[in-house]
Structure 1
Amino acid sequence: MQRTCEQLNRAPSKNLSGWFNGFIGVVIFSGSLPATRVAVLELDPVFLTVARATIAGTLALCLLVLLKSKRPERSQLYPLLIVAMGVVVGFPLLTALALQHVTSAHSIVFLGMLPLATAVFGVLRGGEHPQPAFWLFSVLGCTLVVAFALTQGLTASPKGDILMLLAVIVCGLGYAEGAKLARVLGGWQVISWALVLSLPVMAPLTWVLAPSSFPSIGTPAWLGLGYVSFFSMFIGFIFWYRGLAQGGIAAVGQLQLLQPFFGLALAAILLHETVSMGMFSVTGGVILCVVAAKRFAK
């Protein structure tokens, strides 16, 4: 009885920690698409994908060796490969290709679908079973984000839209699979081993696909590559997978609904773009949906 009470007391603390870690991850991810958009203006999208994976993979390898981290078991290799294909290769490559055809603002439409994709794969792969009301608020939050994006007068590209839709699907799978594995392997270990597994392929491709003239590439493109390599590809996932594992894939995944608005806020701060009252209104509605979804996630 006493042991059960202690477990119940620890549960709210772990849940809150999961939401806190997930929130930090979302804030870091918010700069990914703008940084990718800047980078692909001068860098080939395939090179950008393999280069960011190589840089992050090298960092992960050094960390694993330095901390003498235990190697994953053979049964964990397949899930790690799914994570690698989803978030190390799939999402970065597909979004980089898509952003050659659509603006980063247009991608908000698809980021609004990412929490729902993560929740669905959380049920299919993570064994989670949210209450029916969770799905209602999840869909409502996605609808608010998509509706806001569509009111911005965005131009469409069928090719770009298909690529972004595929990116959302593989990313949702990678998030759910990584979060499931993080429960036993650890958050930073999951993304680190996924990056290391992809390194034997990514590193040679980086060398082969490297630009013929590095001085011809502008500083903004290199800064974009640096951001998606260190923050989007590695540091952000440390917090994100830990948060999903602690607070639940479906529940904490709803924090992604805030990612488009964080991205717009960053644009306002760094690029001095105008932030409308409509943005604040929709953000408030999305926050309410996230809070409600959290309540019915278990």
Structure 2
Amino acid sequence: MDRETKGLWLGLVGVVIFSMTLPATKMAVSDFGAVPLSFYRATIAGLATLIYLLIKNISLSKRNGLPTLAIISVLISFVFPISIAMAMQNLPSSHGGIVLGISPLLTALFATLRFGERPSRGFWITAIIGSGLVIAFSIKQSDGTLQASDIALLLSAASASHGYAEAGNLSHKMGGIAVISWVAIIALIPSLPIAIYYLTQAATSITPIMDASLQAWMALIFVSVFSAYVGNIFWYTGLSMGGIAHVGQVQLLQPFCTLALSSVLVFEPLTISNIFFASAVLIVVAIGKRMPVIKVKT
């Protein structure tokens, strides 16, 4: 298996994990609240990272990218989860998954603007067609209009895509595990005191945090450990091995993985229309993988 193909497979594992983020957030947000949930998530992710590094005796000696890591941390650990949590208060997770389908195109755009990757015209055509398909599906699901909460989803797509491009590039120098570990630890600095504040407030509220359902707690643990950390190890490593633009295309599959998981986890309907659009995007991704992307060393 060549390096690029291995990168695509690693990226796919990351995408499957990320596909559960919206349904899990939907399950947790009503019990914890959008903003507190996001800070609980960052805190648990940071603490889990520290425990993992201690158990494995991993030393994060490379820290020359700290300014970039701080930017990634803000985008991935705060802007993205807060935006999707706010959207999931009003929208089905399946709808959110489709709107986030523009992320691969945005990831390729950030890679081009920031790091000199030069996708071919054919690549851009397939990326635009794939993104057009998911946007068309989103509009179809919303009876011809985008809802107000879609703005929050678009913000989350932009923040995640920018963060992915930065992290994928930095992973060339530091490795995927080091990048996401630094991101989680940096996020822990502001998230821990804020999470403690929300816990204190929740303890005196009408609905204490300990009254949250088991389902909500399991969802919180998932988005904290898997969405915020484990999934990103696969994703960042895949981006660094296979190229940001090419592996980013695999993310086109994420909306349809989310649709399938939403039907199982939160009982949202999976229709023939869903399957049709999923098949169309699979074809576009397969074609896009064959389109050349010139990788410029940074």
Structure 1-normalised TM-score? 0.90
1:130 pairs with 2:119: yes
Counterpart for residue 222 of structure 1:
217
| Distance apart, 1:285 and its partner CA | 1.1
| Distance apart, 1:272 and its partner CA | 5.4
Distance 1:244 1:39 in 2: 29
Specify the code of the residue in structure 2 equivalent to 1:129.
R
Counterpart for residue 253 of structure 2:
258
| Distance apart, 1:199 and its partner CA | 1.1
Specify the code of the residue in structure 2 equivalent to 1:234.
Y
Distance 1:224 1:33 in 2: 10
Distance 1:72 1:138 in 2: 37
| Distance apart, 1:276 and its partner CA | 2.3
Partner secondary structure for residue 230 of structure 2: helix
| Distance apart, 1:90 and its partner CA | 1.2
Distance 1:152 1:268 in 2: 15
Counterpart for residue 289 of structure 2:
294
Counterpart for residue 157 of structure 1:
147
| Distance apart, 1:68 and its partner CA | 3.7
Distance 1:275 1:198 in 2: 36
Specify the code of the residue in structure 1 equivalent to 2:290.
R
Counterpart for residue 56 of structure 1:
45
Whether the aligned pair in 1 keeps the contact of 2:139 and 2:146 (CA below 8 Å) is no
Distance 2:112 2:127 in 1: 14
Whether the aligned pair in 2 keeps the contact of 1:105 and 1:149 (CA below 8 Å) is no
Structure 2-normalised TM-score? 0.90
Quick check: 145-154 or 241-250, which moved more? 145-154
Whether the aligned pair in 1 keeps the contact of 2:175 and 2:237 (CA below 8 Å) is yes
1:94 pairs with 2:83: yes
Against the structure 1 CA distance between its residues 172 and 42, is the aligned structure 2 distance closer, same or farther, given a 3 Å change threshold?
same
Counterpart for residue 270 of structure 2:
275
Whether the aligned pair in 2 keeps the contact of 1:109 and 1:150 (CA below 8 Å) is no
Quick check: 121-130 or 31-40, which moved more? 121-130
Counterpart for residue 5 of structure 1:
none
Partner secondary structure for residue 60 of structure 2: coil
Structure 2 spans left out of the alignment, 5+ residues:
294-298
Specify the code of the residue in structure 2 equivalent to 1:295.
R
Partner secondary structure for residue 65 of structure 2: helix
1:105 pairs with 2:94: yes
Whether the aligned pair in 2 keeps the contact of 1:87 and 1:170 (CA below 8 Å) is yes
| Distance apart, 1:156 and its partner CA | 4.5
Identity of aligned residues (%): 38
| Distance apart, 1:21 and its partner CA | 0.3
Quick check: 17-26 or 37-46, which moved more? 37-46
Corresponding pairs, count? 286
**Deviations for 1:174-218, whole angstroms, at most 9, x for unmatched residues?**
000011111111111111111111212111111111222233212
Distance 1:161 1:284 in 2: 24
Partner secondary structure for residue 251 of structure 1: helix
Whether the aligned pair in 2 keeps the contact of 1:108 and 1:145 (CA below 8 Å) is no
Counterpart for residue 182 of structure 1:
171
**Deviations for 1:10-46, whole angstroms, at most 9, x for unmatched residues?**
xx61111101000000000001011111111111211
Match of 1:69 among 34, 58, 75: 58
Against the structure 1 CA distance between its residues 106 and 48, is the aligned structure 2 distance closer, same or farther, given a 3 Å change threshold?
same
Quick check: 257-266 or 103-112, which moved more? 103-112
Quick check: 114-123 or 265-274, which moved more? 265-274
**Deviations for 1:92-128, whole angstroms, at most 9, x for unmatched residues?**
1111122223332332342111111111111122321
| Distance apart, 1:165 and its partner CA | 1.5
